[in-house]
A and B are shown apart, each in its own frame.
Chain A
Amino acid sequence: MIVELGHFALILAAITAMVQAVIPLIGAHKRWPGWMAVAEPAAVIQFLLTALSFGALTYAFVLSDFSVQLVTANSHTLKPMLYKISGVWGNHEGSMLLWLLILTLFGACLAWFGGNLPPSLRARALAVQSAVGVAFFGFILLTSNPFIRMKDAPFDGRGLNPLLQDPGLAFHPPFLYLGYVGLSMAFSFAIAALIEGRVDAAWARWVRPWTLAAWVFLTIGIALGSWWAYYELGWGGFWFWDPVENASFMPWLLAAALLHSAIVVEKRESLKSWTILLAILAFGFSLIGTFIVRSGVITSVHAFANDPERGVYILAILALFTGGGLTLFAARASTMEAKGVFGMVSRESGLVLNNILLAVSCFVVFVGTIWPLVSEIFFVRKLSVGPPFFNMAFTPFMIVLGIAMPIGGMLPWKRAKLGKVIRPLLPALALAVLLGGLAWTLQTGRSLLGPVGLFLGTWMVFGSVTDVYTRTGKGAIGARLGRLGRLPRADWGKAVAHAGMGVTMIGVSGLMAWEEEDIRVAYIDQPYMVGAYELTLQNVREAPGPNYLSTKGTVLVRKDGQDVAVLEPEKRVYPVSAMPTTEAAIDYRLMRDVYVVVGDPQDDGGYTVRTYIKPLTNWIWIGSALMALGGIFSLSDRRYRVAAGARKSPTGGVPAE
């Protein structure tokens, strides 16, 4: 009964979405306040109905109602409660319902907090948001209904893919979706602005916090996924340039570009049409990401045939919204006149460079991701594009970005002198050169990657420190430090996020350049050396888990005669799905991880054991966390608080700083 209610609520939500996509649009065009006012209650009702529907599906999963097809296919009574709940979105149908839940949540937020927006802009944005909703409601109801019942309910379910039974991955999809779908707000506002024919500072003030929030969620989602890959897949890779990963990385890059270009629109009323274009593209890439993940078209051309209906449907949604958005953009963009005047060297031009680098690197990822498909169709060459390509083609842009970021971040608006800006940065530069040079002399016969990464990272971190410090003005050091606490949160947010990017760069390059690896057959109680560490496999035993069987090893790690850690790597087998997983044991430290994986027993009584010493790995995720934290700081700034967007005069004209 509850399941049927959920299904019914979903259908009602779809109908509400159709109404909301049409009536307010007509109302805004004809200037009929009553018709425009339909949008807000409709958005709230839509969200409540979708939440009800989502709740019904969750209920079915929690109670293990195996009369529902989806629950049978993805759940099992022995599964821990956390994974029963995360099982709701651990499959195609449920994840699309989560997508819709978030989409309607954003719509409802716009209705709740958008009271101060110009009514026609608000009505139009809500209508566009709802049009996206209609497409996805149609998709889920017509091709991916999660509420289908079985004729005969089985005794137990088939379980969730064991790889997904992990706390990191339980929350990875919701964060990614919050990010993907968060960009729909920027899209809706961009289309609404194109229909209105105007973009002003108030518009940018609204779009920026939403984009920033979406970007923060994407950052967290991507970092969780990467961390999961690191400890779960058994050899400590953190990024594979897999099409599915790229699908989340491209919107991240464009969202980063968008939230920077929106600053220029907000402060200087320039870059308007470019910002609109970015907003359309950023959400377009979210849709492309959904298409890639859900159709499997790029991972394997044949997977497409498995589910042509779904793939074609999402492709149609993608074509409609991205294509439609771009067409509208082509028709209307010229009406957006720029107002600001600025020199070749200025904060504005720095942000333009930022946008070029982020957009081009996104383009590189995009071309690399779809090239196998393009090449097969147009050039009849079946080929692969793997990590070596991306590392070579993508990294240079990140290096330039790293070099430019501290300088660009300190340039004043309108007109700047490079020399004047660089002078306070000289200590940071000297420190970076020193550390990079030190790393270069200490390592012999290795690639330049490590030293270059360390140089860039240090430059970015201390560049951010310099930036914050120079903002305290002049005077005695004590007084300036005292003023640090009173800086606007947005300044802190910028510095923390920029420094986070530097920390991540140090982590990535340190791990890639200085990793040590050891693969061997280890025997019980026979110590062996890896780098500076002495490892001893003490025992291997069988141990049962809640819904799996585990083979657990105990490895003692010592350094300089001192015990460092006792690690217990596991190998698990999940009988329900007959799938093995490796659970690496990791001794996490700030400067390095010791990463041990135990493998198969050998005929002579030994075990395959793989050991990695991974320097600076955790910096990757500490840096990601800092980036997200920086975004949150900025969001909490009084001036940019989500709801505060339009409180300033909606007719625009916000003076530049």
Chain B
Amino acid sequence: MRLWQVLTRAAMVVLIALPVWAVQPDEVLDDPELEARARVISKDLRCLVCRNESIDESNADLARDLRILVRERLSDGDTNDEVIDFVVDRYGEYVLLRPQTGGSNLLLWAAGPMAFLLALVLAGAYLRRRSVAPEPVANSLSNEEQARLDEILKD
């Protein structure tokens, strides 16, 4: 039991420093419609001090502050876009998990569709070539293969 006591004491020290924990019940808005909008917005905002988490999932204090901020703005009558613009003004576009479409980001958003179109064109050309290509003359053997074949046949 001695070890157990040591562990308990160690854990007490740790527990005091525990972070708070994703969306807390006291943050949830009474109006379910507003709360649902808050959740949608939170999923698109990055927790700035975390590795790769939205504020909706994060345990960090900063994420909690942002969640509360989002809910305050919504309660004050902001639209979703206004809330997001407000947060971006404050923290920069790094906070957005859904990157903006303007400027250089056009490349990011267009990369998939453009690559797909290009691939379709190239593949189309390839398929057309293959569909009109003449049937090759039987399997012709290289000299080396012919030699090997002769050798086998000799045995």
Residues in chain A within 8 A of chain B (CB atoms) = 234-235, 237, 240, 242-243, 270, 299-300, 338-344, 348-349, 352-353, 356, 359-361, 363-364, 367-368, 371, 375, 378-379, 381-389, 392-394, 396-397, 519-521, 544, 549, 573, 575, 578, 580, 599-600, 608, 610, 651-653
Contacts and interface: CB of A to CB of B under 8 A. Distances in A.
28 contacts: A235-B57, A240-B52, A300-B51, A341-B136, A343-B131, A344-B127, A356-B119, A359-B119, A360-B115, A360-B116, A361-B112, A367-B108, A367-B111, A375-B104, A378-B104, A379-B104, A381-B104, A383-B100, A386-B54, A387-B43, A387-B54, A388-B43, A392-B98, A393-B112, A544-B4, A580-B18, A608-B25, A651-B148
Contacts of B7: 544, 549, 575
B112 A599 contact: no
B46 A386 contact: yes
Contacts of B115: 360, 363-364
Given A240-B52, A363-B112, A575-B11, A389 B98 contact: yes
Contacts of A240: 52-53
A608 B21 contact: yes
Contact of B51 (A299, A393, A544, A575): A299
Contacts of B57: 235, 237
B24 interface: yes
Given A368-B108, A386-B54, A549-B7, A397 B25 contact: no
Contacts of B98: 386, 388-389, 392
Contacts of A342: 127, 130-131
Contact of A341 (B46, B93, B134): B134
A270 B130 contact: yes
Nearest to B141: A651
B99 A384 contact: yes
Contacts of A378: 104
A357 to B, nearest CB: 8
B117 to A, nearest CB: 10
Nearest to A348: B130
B61 interface: no
Contacts of A340: 130
A315 B100 CA distance: 30
B10 interface: yes
A240 B43 CA distance: 12
Given A240-B52, A299-B52, A352-B127, A387 B25 contact: no
B14 A573 contact: yes
Contacts, number: 151
Contacts of B108: 367-368, 371, 375, 385, 389
Interface in B75-132: 92-100, 103-105, 108-109, 111-112, 115-116, 119-120, 123, 126-128, 130-131
A389 B134 CA distance: 45
A387 B52 CA distance: 10
Nearest to A269: B136
Interface of B: 4, 7-8, 10-11, 13-15, 18, 20-26, 28, 43-44, 46, 51-54, 57, 92-100, 103-105, 108-109, 111-112, 115-116, 119-120, 123, 126-128, 130-131, 133-136, 139, 141, 145, 148
A242 B57 CA distance: 14
A651 B119 CA distance: 32
B97 to A, nearest CB: 3
Contacts of A270: 130
Contacts of B4: 544
B95 A384 contact: yes
Nearest to B131: A343
A342 B128 CA distance: 9
A363 B148 CA distance: 44
A363 B111 contact: yes
Contacts of A573: 11, 14-15
Contacts of B46: 384, 386
A344 B131 CA distance: 6
Nearest to B23: A519
A242 B136 CA distance: 48
Given A384-B46, A392-B98, 9 more contacts: A240-B52, A299-B52, A339-B136, A341-B136, A360-B112, A360-B115, A381-B105, A382-B92, A383-B93
| Interface-centre pick from A300, A348, A385, A397 (highest chain B CB count, 10 A) | A385
**Central interface residue in A242, A392, A580, A652, by most chain B CB within 10 Å:** A580
Contacts of A575: 7, 10-11, 14
